[in-house]
Amino acid sequence: MTLKNKNRIFLFLFIFSAIIFLFNITVLCIAAAAKSIVPPINPMRPFVLIPKGGLCPYNFNSSLAAIIAFSLSAPALSIAIFKGFEKTPSLEILFFSGFIISCVTESARILLPLFGFWKTNSLFLIYIGRIVAAGRFLAPMSLFFATVFSSAEELQNAERNIFILLASTCAFGFFYPMDTTITTSTCTVLWGFRKFFAVIRVFIVVVTIFSVLAEAYTKGINGIYIKALGIVILATGYGLLCNTDCWLEFFIAIILYASGCVLYLKTVHYLENTWN
């Protein structure tokens, strides 16, 4: 993977994700003007940050805001990486493109409450559910690949590893069971074996963090410990933003998500330009 091709990938991601963001804003405004935004009826809340005390009441608008935040973050991250890493041949950043794609897939959630699409046939709901499930598997897998397969020895295998990452994600999204009879407060349908799905994603993140810590201990570079902290904050913010359905969760998630992105990318940039 040449530096020129890497830059082309992120430029394409910026253009594509920017188009998706503008599309989301446009259809949301049209639906709002037509009063065709239909919140789910009696939705299941997949996660409540503070279940007691009434601090996290369900608010449908916060779910929409979380989806728009994901949609906006994709072009923002793409152009930031394109400019900041333009002369940096980093495999780690190349794999991070998968995380950006996962942010784009979250945009699919916005289609369900618009124009009463909740009430459409189950096949449409299954497609949306599979897109979201694939993206939520791709996000931690991208961080894992960025950690494990970013060494200089893996440079010649970059295309193969990217193909494995994307193919495994697509296969996961295609074959994972969906339950279209249950709608959630976060504008999606429920997937089968929900606890297993959550556990496997957390497990991938934990393995990623321990891999980074092992690398930091082996190389004796303090900056790698900071990168591990960035992954923890980023993964926490991402997970919370995926499950946001109240304003308190939204603001906490945005702070963690933005802070994690900045800390992770700044640390990777520092390590690439200082130690490589």
| CATH (domain of 252) | 1.20.1070
Q: How many domains in the chain?
A: 1
Q: What is the pLDDT of residue 275?
A: 59
pTM over 0.75? The answer is: yes
Q: What is the pLDDT of residue 67?
A: 96
Domain that holds residue 96: 3-275
Q: What is the pLDDT of residue 263?
A: 96
Q: What is the pLDDT of residue 155?
A: 75
Q: What is the pLDDT of residue 202?
A: 95
What are the average pLDDT values for consecutive 10-residue runs of the chain, which has 276 residues? 84 96 94 87 82 80 95 96 87 93 94 77 82 95 92 80 93 87 86 88 96 90 91 97 94 97 94 73
Q: What is the pLDDT of residue 53?
A: 62
What's the per-residue H, E or C state across the chain?
CCHHHHHHHHHHHHHHHHHHHHHHHHHHHHHHHCCCECCCCCCECCCCCCCCCCCCCCCHHHHHHHHHHHHHHHHHHHHHHHHHCCCCCCHHHHHHHHHHHHHHHHHHHHHCCECCHHHCCHHHHHHHHHHHHHHHHHHHHHHHHHHHCCCHHHHHHHHHHHHHHHHHHHHHHHHCCEEEEEEECCCCEEECCHHHHHHHHHHHHHHHHHHHHHHHHHHCCHHHHHHHHHHHHHHHHHHHHHCCCCHHHHHHHHHHHHHHHHHHHHHHHHHHHHHC
Q: What is the pLDDT of residue 235?
A: 97
